[in-house]
Structure 1
């Protein structure tokens, strides 16, 4: 990252950067900039780092409230290496075997292994040798897709649609990347159960698999080929480790501090003013807060012919129990009968699922210290409409929907779940909105074609020379790996501007 000369501001001093938000994108940005010689202030309103990778302490249970799936640890390592550190020195990353377990309405189950040979054997066992051959072809395709997209479309800056042009665009088109995800998977696999396993990740992109660009099947590569990990101590340990590394590299991390306003001089942001009465001067500012809030702080109104489209939301139920169920892996997907109807109900109808498909994460299988002795922790995620698509009074309906989710889980093999609960927390789209997330979704903007690559909100802001955006609302998009890249890209913008200023 370091361009060879220390970053300087006026009067020869080191350039100062203020980062709003100690989420993973903001911390990645802080690490890259600290390693390049900048003075960095990170301001976070919560009393802990991590942002959407949040935490909740619940009667002795240590709960991750945000993402539960960690892939692509090399992107984390890249951020740590910017300050001469290493992810392996900071975190104990435990590979998950299987990465997922899937149960279907017909009573069958399939384990997802990231090892090529083990997964081919599992597919042959459950679906036949011909499907195993199709799986191997799909795996090779996903690997090629990742290689093209990472270098030219994910880890890349965009200032114009013309930036797409190049040999990799041709390669992506030749691979059918601008077709649809579900049909692309279907060309390799006939078994509907397997098709779901390699396309449910479209939920992360906020678009039904039948409508999502085939290019986004790269998320399935991250989940099913590159490997799924769990950090000892939970996902909360990631933000804590990054914040510690940044502080040791010289960054100042201000927790429990809110930004009241930005001090603007013409087309430049000169300082942040906090709720503690501090004025933090800056030569550059990075905003990682939710996109509408960042634009509001900057006094910016994007020019768009149509409004941004937001991804579906989720209802999350955190359950501390006095028992668990051996059929659950660390991550278990419980599919309902009517998979495609699920998306129609959530995305088009703005209603909850009539036949829920649910993700159940059991982190205490891998790290028992996250719960009191003899207790277990379960994280249940149910996709749900965001507050723009749906008109649900969640404060009233949330507890009823909680009971429906628990009843569904009991019918699908978790008998006695309700009576085993000794601590719980329900999180609905209304709760996400109260946390400052637009339209009550933690997944930000959907990855439609019109909100992909150069068409997604850029990480630069018209009319402000020294402000940069990072996080899931800007490029490259939603998900833990991509927000880490987003932080690096924001740091690169500042380095580029600093270099132009020296020239």
Structure 2
């Protein structure tokens, strides 16, 4: 049977708890990841009677957690960027990031290991320190970095004020003095690749990779994303990188607690099988005929029993492809299967979670391992045919460098992400060496690469716990389209108003949230997507964030 979750809420002073008073409009939210939880909390704050349904017994979705033998692993996002988006979201609920989370700014923000380089380089928390770092590697690169980040900060400010919080329902929301003033520059940034822009600023391959790697956060490559996305470098080089003590599961717990405090009923072990609809005639206006409206959902609990929930509004924070092709009646799909045929799912991933005996001072909290021929890596992942590159450009997180609760005493916690093609055929992971052959081979290669490049020759012998996750796990556990690890890539034709919209065009009262709809991939984007649901229901068409608190 399904479980109703009871979360101990940390209710802010002056906050309020929602209730289930008769006569209130009702909403059902599908999915208990960060987007679903955030949407449920905001809708509860708006006055809706909200039921959230999560198929798993654990909340978090991609931002999940796994614990074993005294180790605690975040199984998904591990970079806390765009802190002002988190601040704004918490303010909407009458609280603050400072009250809900204990954040630590990382210094260095991350360490870069480049193939063929004798020593790694550290990108530090202080911007002036990074200017000096760039200058020490390439003459004049420090001033080039100033120009690049100034442009990135300007683009970021415009994105926050006009595009990220926009439902794109009113073209006038995209027009203003700020947009017109930057018009020519925006046009240039939208028609060239990020890698092209970077090459006009620095020539050292390592510095190009530092400026280009944020494209991976967008599910793409610096050779494919528009250069407008250089705004991402404002985040790590100017804002800095943070870490919530207790891990990213703490972020999920806090948002879940706030949702419960707003009266949301959370049911885990509840797998939605259908979004129910009803037809009614349209008798007035130009759109005469039959209209369809969402009436609720059907779901099964862990025992297989079938349940139904009636509601005025349904919000799916599940994968958009899954929602449209599996939960929506075939004749009412806004995004049927053929719409996806020419879409880019972004990368898949092999995740490797390692418990390691002894300390690993050679690694920072965040570590990026870049291969010399970076373009070939991306071609392997996105090309036809695609394959897992060796060596790969990988990411390694060592949260135990910052958080003692992530691993037992005198042990370390390593989370390794190997980008691979979005292909469930690569297989699933497992405990020990129990995963599919391609998954375990990618894990072995990554462990050997870390050992060699970071100078930890006995790393493999010190591993006492090992678990892998493969693209098939993303497809099975998260209903991820083609087993993608992040969501649809932010290519030009999959960004902003070209991305999947946040409401069905065929079913009234059906809305979407999460990384596969607007504004896009990542925890901050998912929080914004929750706010866009509220804006949609209010009929608020501006491009700016809502005023806090709600």
Q: TM-score, normalised by structure 1?
A: 0.91
**Distance in 1 between residues matched to 2:264 and 2:95, nearest whole Å:** 14
Aligned to 2:445, the other structure's residue is in SS state helix
Change (3 A) 1:365 1:393: closer
Q: 1:280 maps to what in 2?
A: 309
Aligned to 1:198, the other structure's residue is in SS state helix
Contact 2:426–2:439, Cα closer than 8 Å, also in 1: no
Q: 1:144 maps to what in 2?
A: 154
Q: 1:302 maps to what in 2?
A: 335
**Distance in 2 between residues matched to 1:122 and 1:238, nearest whole Å:** 33
Unpaired runs of at least 5, structure 1:
1-10, 498-503
Contact 1:159–1:454, Cα closer than 8 Å, also in 2: no
Question: Paired residue for 2:366, among 323, 331, 345?
Answer: 331
Contact 1:31–1:80, Cα closer than 8 Å, also in 2: no
Contact 1:18–1:286, Cα closer than 8 Å, also in 2: yes
What pairs with 1:344-363 in structure 2 (closer than 5 Å)?
344-348=379-383, 349-363=385-399
**Distance in 2 between residues matched to 1:156 and 1:484, nearest whole Å:** 13
Q: 1:177 maps to what in 2?
A: 189
Which moves more between the two structures, 220-229 or 461-470? 220-229
* CA drift at 1:306: 5.1
Which moves more between the two structures, 16-25 or 170-179? 170-179
Which moves more between the two structures, 442-451 or 240-249? 442-451
Q: 2:529 maps to what in 1?
A: 486
Question: Paired residue for 2:402, among 348, 366, 388?
Answer: 366
Q: 1:378 maps to what in 2?
A: 414
Aligned to 1:250, the other structure's residue is in SS state coil
Question: Paired residue for 1:66, among 53, 73, 76?
Answer: 76
Contact 1:164–1:454, Cα closer than 8 Å, also in 2: no
1:38 aligned onto 2:48: yes
Question: Paired residue for 2:473, among 406, 431, 456?
Answer: 431
Cα deviations across residues 345-395 of structure 1 (Å, max 9, x unaligned)? 11114111133211110001110111122211001111111118xx64662
Aligned to 1:177, the other structure's residue is in SS state helix
Q: 2:99 maps to what in 1?
A: 89
Q: 1:124 maps to what in 2?
A: 135
**Distance in 2 between residues matched to 1:417 and 1:111, nearest whole Å:** 22
Aligned to 2:58, the other structure's residue is in SS state coil
Which moves more between the two structures, 194-203 or 161-170? 161-170
Aligned length: 486
Contact 1:350–1:386, Cα closer than 8 Å, also in 2: no
Q: TM-score, normalised by structure 2?
A: 0.84
Aligned to 2:468, the other structure's residue is in SS state strand
**Distance in 1 between residues matched to 2:396 and 2:374, nearest whole Å:** 17
**Distance in 2 between residues matched to 1:477 and 1:311, nearest whole Å:** 12
**Distance in 2 between residues matched to 1:492 and 1:48, nearest whole Å:** 29
Q: 2:452 maps to what in 1?
A: 411
Cα deviations across residues 273-300 of structure 1 (Å, max 9, x unaligned)? 3324443221111101011211121221
**Distance in 1 between residues matched to 2:340 and 2:41, nearest whole Å:** 37
Cα deviations across residues 420-476 of structure 1 (Å, max 9, x unaligned)? 111111111122122221111121111121111111110011111101000011111
**Distance in 1 between residues matched to 2:533 and 2:65, nearest whole Å:** 26
Unpaired runs of at least 5, structure 2:
1-20, 280-291, 429-435, 541-550
Contact 2:390–2:445, Cα closer than 8 Å, also in 1: no
**Distance in 2 between residues matched to 1:230 and 1:218, nearest whole Å:** 21
Contact 2:162–2:173, Cα closer than 8 Å, also in 1: no
Cα deviations across residues 309-341 of structure 1 (Å, max 9, x unaligned)? 210111111000102321211001121221111
Question: Paired residue for 1:397, among 438, 444, 464?
Answer: 438
Contact 1:155–1:476, Cα closer than 8 Å, also in 2: yes
Change (3 A) 1:357 1:324: farther
Aligned to 2:464, the other structure's residue is in SS state strand
Contact 2:360–2:412, Cα closer than 8 Å, also in 1: no
Contact 2:426–2:472, Cα closer than 8 Å, also in 1: no
Change (3 A) 1:163 1:455: farther
Aligned to 2:539, the other structure's residue is in SS state helix
Aligned to 2:504, the other structure's residue is in SS state coil
Cα deviations across residues 200-256 of structure 1 (Å, max 9, x unaligned)? 111122222122101122222223222211111101111111000110121112122
Which moves more between the two structures, 271-280 or 162-171? 162-171
**Distance in 1 between residues matched to 2:340 and 2:348, nearest whole Å:** 24
**Distance in 2 between residues matched to 1:387 and 1:358, nearest whole Å:** 18
